[in-house]
Structure 1
Amino acid sequence: MIERDIRVAADALDQAAAEVSVAWKAAAAGHPVAPTDRLYFSNWEALCAVLTPKRYELLRHLRRTPADSIRALARDLGRDVKRVHEDVTALEELGLIERDATGRLTMLVDEIASSIRFAA
C-alpha cells in the first residue's frame, strides 16, 4: 500500500525545512536516509485550494478506474476537458496521480493520511 501523509500546520515550511536539514546532514555523514512521502500546507485554506471536492472525486474515480486520457476521464466524470486537465496537472505535481507515456492516468496512492494542528 502506498500512503501519502498530508500535514496542515502554521509552521509547515519550518517543519519541511527541518526534515530536509536532518536528512541532508545524515546523508552527508554517510548514514542511510529513509524517504518520506509528506505534503505540507500552512493552513486549511491552502489544503482546500489544492484538494477540492472535484479533485477528490477525480482521485476516487481514478482509484477505481484508470483512464486512457484526460479526455476520457473528463467524459467519465461529465466535466469540461480543460478543467479536468487543470486538476490532473495539479494532482500530478503533488504526486497523487501519474500519466504514463501513452497518456494513461492512474492514482498512485491507496491512502491519504492527514493531520491538522490547531495549536502549537
Structure 2
Amino acid sequence: MIERDIRVDADALDQAAAEVAKAWKAAEAGHPVAPTDRLYFASWEALCTVLTPKRYELLRHLRRTPADSIRALARGLGRDVKRVHEDVAALEELGLVERDDAGRLIMPVDEIASSIRFAA
C-alpha cells in the first residue's frame, strides 16, 4: 500500500528542514536514508488551498479510473479542461497525481493519513 502523510502545524517549515538536515547528515556519513512521503502545511488554510473539494473529487476519480489525458479526465469529471489542468499540475507537484508507464494520469496513493496540531 502506498501512503502519504500530511501534517498541519505552525512549525511545519522547521520540521521539514530538520528532516532534510537529518537525512543529509546520515547520507554524508554513508548511512542509508529511507525516503519519506510526508507533506507539511503551516496552517489548515494552506492545506485547504491545495486540497480543495474539486481536487479531492479529482483524486478519487483518478484512483478508480485512470485517464488517458487531461481532456478525458475533464470530460469524466464534467469540468472545464483549463481548471482540471491547473488542478492536475498542483497535485502533480505534491506527488498525488502521476503518469504511469502508458502515460495515463493516475492517483498512485492508496491512503492519505493526516495530523493537525492545534496546540504547541
Report the TM-score range of the alignment, normalised by the length of the smaller protein.
Answer: over 0.9
* Offset of residue 101 of structure 1: 7.1
CA distance in 1, matches of 2:36, 2:110: 16
Instruction: Map 1:51-70; keep pairs closer than 5 Å.
Output: 51-70=51-70
* Offset of residue 104 of structure 1: 1.6
Say yes or no: does 1:40 pair with 2:43. no
**Farther off after superposition, 41-50 or 23-32:** 23-32
Alignment partner of 2:6: what SS?
strand
C-alpha deviations, 1:13-56, integer Å up to 9, x for none?
A: 00000001111111111111111110000000000000000000
- In structure 1, the gaps of 5 or more residues are none
Amino acid at match of 2:24: W
CA distance in 2, matches of 1:63, 1:101: 16
CA distance in 2, matches of 1:117, 1:63: 28
Structure 1 outlier segments of 4+, above 6 Å: none
Say yes or no: does 1:84 pair with 2:84. yes
Alignment partner of 1:83: what SS?
helix
Aligned to 2:3: 3
C-alpha deviations, 1:84-119, integer Å up to 9, x for none?
A: 000000000000011357642001100000000001
How many residue pairs match? The answer is: 120
CA distance in 1, matches of 2:25, 2:98: 31
Say yes or no: does 1:16 pair with 2:12. no
C-alpha deviations, 1:45-98, integer Å up to 9, x for none?
A: 000000000000000000000011100110110000000000000000000011
Alignment partner of 2:16: what SS?
helix
- In structure 2, the gaps of 5 or more residues are none
